Structure 1
Amino acid sequence: MKNTMRAQLGQSVNLTPQLLQAIRLLQLTAPQLELEMRQALERNPLLETEEDEIGETDAESEAAIEAATVEAAAWDELPEPSFLAGGGTIGEDDATARIAAGESTDARVRLLEQLRLTWDDGELAMAVFWLDRCDDRGYLELDREALLAEGAAALDVAIDGLEAIRQRLLHGECPGLAAADPSECLRAQLAVLRPSAERTLALRIVREHLDALASQDHSALATALGVDGAQLRSAIALILSLRAHPLERDADEQTHVVPDVLVWRTGDGWRVGLSAGAMPKLRVSPHCEQALAGGGSDHTALRGLLDEARWLVRGIAMRNETLLKTAQVLVERQREFLERGEEALAPLTLKEVADAIGMHESTVSRITSGKYIQTPRGTFELKRLFAVRLEGATVGAAAVKAMVKRLIESEPTNAPLADDAIAGLLARQGVRIARRTVAKYRDQMSIAPANLRRTQPQARTMSGF
């Protein structure tokens, strides 16, 4: 055997403990940051809280932000989180995956963490693609065929392989996830149940007669299926025990949120500020810092605590500064939405915001994940202010969905608008979308088809399906 030596050049990101801490702080929500601060105060005697009023910026805070910006360049060079960015491969060398943090509140992120243990990189990349194109309820946001074409081109994979991954997600740990419509979601949940006569009948109902089920015309449904009332009631009871959406909030999950950002309107325009929970006043004790300023080896352990305290203060300062800058750009770009509502939500991407604040897309992804903004129009996640631009249109999908809802709400009760008629009305406004896209948005808003809205005006929405 002959031993040889070979030189090889490569690039890598070295994550220092301080930078890892800064990244973890960036991803914390307001309640999580408050808990982190309380734990740090208990652990480190050199930290203390400030009694200054919220919103007041002193020289010490500005110095902390200035010192923290030294690490910003390395921060922005980190691998982009694939799930939030909508692509890429998740590998075992993803440094951000090793950051100690609490469990994500997003079920899709938790699922990816589980899949990471058994799926290879190629399969994970395709899973990321599908999950990133699901809405908060777990349904695909766009037409399945269009997404297959997009994913095959973006990931350079076969369409059959990409669809196979969707099927694994659909029938996996969270049955119904990445479903194209409610019928597919319900069928996936029924498929994992024990075989029985009720399950077989329920599958027929959700596959062939879901509209009849939504209209609650049980006699017509029993006639069409050729079953008696008792059998039908058992099958319907089984269907009603399923989840209406792939992803649903747990019954015991906290239903209220603490906003990280506050937005209000003044005579000069829109103002943006951090909430009290998002901007904790934490500092290094000046008396302890002065006492440790001298030399000597007797205080080695305390100096370690001092360095830890300084990095925590800097990390919080950088986190708050980034959050505020990002929120200011979002509010500035979505002023029309704040003033007029959903139909004025402008298309906006992570890259556009990142370019505006001079940071990387991954930084914007982390700082907006799980953060809430309180506005005169309600409290919602920051990510709601991002919108995908529809092909051939100047508006985003959320705005089009709001337009569809408005047209249906204002339609004559005796002559409801069909999906193709709604598409035609939108085309007159410069928004050209297909009839099936109108139908998809209508289903997402749980609005019944035109024929059901005409025959049963008292039940203009489908009950959960």
Structure 2
Amino acid sequence: MKASLQAKMGQSMTLTPQLLQSIRLLQVTSLQLEQELQLVLERNPLLEQAPEEEEPAPAGDGDAATIEAAAWDELPEPMFLSGGSYTGDMDEDATARIAAGESSDPRQRLLQQLQLRCNAQDLAMAAWWLDCCDDRGYLEAEPAELARHGAAQLQDALPGVGADDLLAARQHLLLDGDWPGMAAADPRECLLAQLRALPTSETRALALRIVGEQLDALARHDLATLAARLDATSAEVAAAVSLILSLQPHPVEQPPEPEPAFIVPDVIAWRAGGAWQVRLNTRSAPRLRLCAHAEQASGHAGMRGLLDEARWLLRSLGIRNETLLKTARTLVARQQAFLERGEEAIAPLTLKEVAEDIGMHESTVSRITTGKYIQTPRGTMELKRLFAVRLEGAEVSGAAIKAMVRRLIEDEPAHAPLADEVIAAMLARQGIRVARRTVAKYREQLSIAPARMRRRERAPAPAVRLG
């Protein structure tokens, strides 16, 4: 064997502990940040808590802070945050190893699981499908229609991927994946996927037939009709129906319920002088500053490291606060109609659009909005609540259409409830074209019964006694 030397050129990025700290500070909640800063105050004698009425002065050189902000803003994007734009080796992404709490976003939780066994292309396709799902995990439009649109949209990021590839990825990565039924088109498809994930048995086989062929009789709880149509005994049908009722009504797995706690908003938004104002809630975390004797202490070898650590922390906190404020201002500006008029006015908005507005990467927006809350006249809500998926073929978001469906049903005559196709036609007259099936899906998500079950007879007029 002959030994030889070869020259190889490549690009790499080294994440220093300080840079990792800056990235991690973006995604910690206000409570976590407060706890960390209290520990830092106890450990570093060169830092002190600034009085509430005093704004902390920026630490270090402004140009250096800008360069550092750009450095972590251009980091390789983890696939579970990017929605599929990064096609490099997942193992090379050092930010994926940063410890973080359980995300409130089910899309992120599922993609974190998938990235352990999927390549970059599969993960990108899965992320695209999840962007097309509503909060409960159902698709916002027909799978075939979405696949055609996705193949064109992902042409640059995933060359060669067609509609059939996207449909296959939906089937084996999501529908039959870790969360069976995810990205299902309707409850029938969701239930069938969950049943396929169960061990083979005669009861499961009968349950598959009931969901696939006799969903109408199942909805009526008509066990006698099911037994007759499927040539099964009452006991067999009862066992199969019991198995079906044990399934999840929708595919999204919710995280464990946290202990009851008060929410401290990170940002406050209010309307004054005809315009929306946004500011950080400075009471959500202690404000730090360098002690008066910090510069004199830099002459001591043992203190120089503590001074550098303090300066970097203050700089990182400044970057975090500036990024949070810029993001919140953009969200409020883009969702003014929602804040003023309610759910029906929420506009379609994605991470990418906000990232372009503030001149940062999608990963930065995702980190800074996770677990952060904004106080508004409409209530306190997570910043991610201000994002909304655009319904294919419509200029409004799926959340807005769902709110319109709820309002139309609430205002319908009790004796003449609106059928799904009538609601679709009423929305079309407002310029919002959605399929009857989409209306039915939103109605089911709102736990509203079909029109025939909502009908209530008109109350008879009171009798008039003459004489």
Q: Which of residues 286, 292, 310 is equivalent to 1:286?
A: 292
Identify if the C-alpha distance between structure 1 residues 107 and 432 changes in structure 2 by more than 3 Å, giving closer, same or farther. closer
Q: Matched residues in 1 for 2:132 and 2:403: separation?
A: 19
Q: Which residue of 1 aligns with 2:100?
A: 101
1:252: Cα distance to partner? 4.2
User: Aligned partners of 1:252, 1:118: CA distance in 2, in Å?
Assistant: 28
User: 1:278 deviation in Å?
Assistant: 4.3
Kindly state the Cα deviation for residue 258 of structure 1 after the two structures are TM-superposed.
4.2
Question: CA separation in 1, counterparts of 2:75 and 2:454?
Answer: 52
Please state how far the C-alpha of 1:18 moved relative to its aligned partner.
Answer: 2.3
Corresponding residue SS for 1:52: coil
1:17 is matched with 17
Q: Per-residue deviation at 1:421?
A: 2.0
Q: How does 1:193-232 map to 2 (within 5 A)?
A: 193-232=198-237
| Aligned position for 1:243 | 248
1:262 aligns with 268
* 1:75 aligned partner: 72
Task: Select between 275-284 and 360-369 the one with higher mean Cα deviation.
Answer: 275-284
Contact 1:262 1:373 in 2 (8 A): yes
1:167: which partner in 2? 171
Deviation at 1:216, TM superposition (A): 4.1
* Structure 1 counterpart of 2:349: 348
Q: Is the 8 A contact 1:347 1:387 kept in 2?
A: yes
* Aligned residue number for residue 34 of structure 1: 34
1:430 shift after superposition: 1.5
Offset at 1:319?
0.7
RMSD of aligned alpha carbons: 3.2
Alpha-carbon separation, structure 2, partners of 1:231 and 1:277: 61
Could you say what secondary structure the match of 1:373 adopts? strand
Contact 2:267 2:281 (C-alpha < 8 Å) held by counterparts: yes
Q: Do the aligned residues in 1 keep the contact of 2:214 with 2:226 (CA within 8 Å)?
A: yes
The separation in 2 between residues aligned to 1:251 and 1:361, in whole angstroms, is: 27
More displaced 10-residue stretch of structure 1: 308-317 or 160-169: 160-169
Distance 1:377 1:421, change over 3 A: same
C-alpha distance in 2 between matches for 1:27 and 1:305: 24
After superposing the two structures, state which structure 1 stretch, 334-343 or 35-44, moved more: 35-44
| Counterpart residue type for residue 310 of structure 1 | R
Q: Retained in 2: the 8 A contact 1:133–1:141?
A: yes
Provide the residue aligned with 1:418 in structure 2.
419
Is this contact kept in 1: 2:418–2:451, CA < 8 A?
yes
Per-residue Cα deviation, 1:188-241 (whole angstroms, up to 9, x for no partner): 222232333432332233223334434445555455445455444433332232
8 Å CA contact 2:391–2:398 kept in 1: the answer is yes
Question: Are the aligned partners of 2:132 and 2:389 in contact in 1 as well (CA < 8 Å)?
Answer: no
| Alignment equivalent of 2:194, drawn from 184, 189, 193 | 189
The separation in 2 between residues aligned to 1:328 and 1:134, in whole angstroms, is 26
Whether the 8 Å CA contact 1:82–1:90 is kept in 2: the answer is no
Distance 1:206 1:81, change over 3 A: same
Deviation for aligned residue 1:338: 1.0
Cα distance in 2 between the residues matched to 1:62 and 1:271: 26
What is the TM-score when the length of structure 2 is the normalising length? 0.83
| Structure 2 letter corresponding to 1:57 | E
- Equivalents in 2 of 1:337, 1:103: separation in Å? 28
Is the alpha carbon distance of 1:50 and 1:128 closer, same or farther for their aligned partners in structure 2, counting shifts above 3 Å?
same
Distance change (3 Å), C-alpha of 1:196 and 1:255 = farther
2: CA distance, partners of 1:64 / 1:395: 44
**Counterpart-to-counterpart distance in 2, 1:235 and 1:277:** 55
Is the Cα contact below 8 Å between 2:104 and 2:255 reproduced in 1? no
Partner SS state of residue 92, structure 2: coil
Task: Give how far 1:57 is off.
Answer: 2.3
Same amino acid, percent of matched pairs: 61
Q: Relative to structure 2, which stretch is displaced further, 158-167 or 181-190?
A: 158-167
Whether the 8 Å contact between 2:74 and 2:361 is mirrored in structure 1 is yes
User: Retained in 2: the 8 A contact 1:140–1:179?
Assistant: yes
Cα distance, 1:26 vs structure 2:
0.9
The structural deviation recorded for 1:337 is: 0.9
Q: Output the CA distance in 2 between the equivalents of 1:25 and 1:64.
A: 20
State the alpha-carbon separation in 2 of the partners of residues 202 and 259 from structure 1.
47
How far apart are the structure 1 equivalents of 2:177 and 2:384?
27
Deviations 1:386-411 (A, max 9, x none): 23444554322222221122222222
Change (3 A) 1:15 1:421: same
CA distance in 1, matches of 2:241, 2:23: 49
Cα distance in 1 for partners of 2:134, 2:62 equals: 36
* Secondary structure at 1:283 match in 2: strand
Asked if 1:179 corresponds to 2:179, the answer is no
2:405 is matched with: 404
| Alpha-carbon contact 2:46-2:290 (below 8 Å) kept | yes
Distance 1:233 1:282, change over 3 A: farther
1:252-306 CA deviation, whole Å, 9 max, x = no partner?
434655432223344554332333564431333333x144132x54x2xx32222
Q: Relative to structure 1, is the Cα distance of residues 433 and 372 closer, same or farther in structure 2, using a 3 angstrom cutoff?
A: same
Deviation of residue 152 (structure 1)?
Answer: 3.1
Flag the 1:439–1:293 CA change in 2: closer, same or farther, 3 A.
same
Q: Distance in 1 between matches of 2:197 and 2:391?
A: 36
Distance 1:193 1:266, change over 3 A: same
Q: CA offsets, 1:36-92, max 9 Å, x none?
A: 323433444443333415xx524x248787763342222332234444443223622
Relative to the length of structure 1, the TM-score reads: 0.84
Instruction: Give the aligned length.
Output: 448
1:331 Cα deviation from its structure 2 partner: 1.2
- Which SS does the other structure have where 2:270 is aligned? strand
* Whole-angstrom CA distance in 2 between matches of 1:90 and 1:116: 13
Q: SS state of the match for residue 286, structure 1?
A: coil
Q: Is this contact kept in 2: 1:215–1:452, CA < 8 A?
A: no
Which residue does the alignment assign to 1:430? 431
Provide the rounded CA distance (Å) in 2 between the counterparts of 1:403 and 1:427: 12
Name 1:146's counterpart in structure 2: 145
